[in-house]
């Protein structure tokens, strides 16, 4: 039986988990920083997004 070598998978060196509240203005400001990091580190940086809501009622 001949086996094929496994393909190399390129994993990011660092994974950033970005928590953001859609109604929080700070979340939009941090997004620019995340974009800049992605531009600098390219395929060595993974970004996972998590959405959370800090306030139930904003009335």
For the stretch 2-30, what's the b/e string if a residue is b when 16 or more beta carbons lie within 10 angstroms of its beta carbon?
Answer: eeeeeeeeeeeeeeeeeebeeeeeebeee
Residue with tokens 């094929």: 4
DSSP 19-47: EE-TT-HHHHHHHHHHHHHHHHHGGGEEE
**9-54, pLDDT tens digit by residue?**
677 788 999 888 888 888 778 889 999 999 999 889 999 999 988 7
Whether residue 55 contacts residue 24, with contact meaning beta carbons closer than 8 Å, is answered with no
Task: Give the pLDDT of residue 9.
Answer: 66
């Amino acid at each position: 039986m001949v086996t094929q070598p496994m393909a190399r998978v390129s994993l990011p060196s660092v994974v950033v988990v970005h928590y953001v509240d859609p109604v929080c203005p700070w979340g939009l400001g941090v997004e620019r920083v995340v974009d800049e990091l992605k531009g600098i580190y390219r395929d060595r940086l993974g970004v996972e997004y998590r959405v959370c809501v800090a306030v139930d009622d904003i009335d």
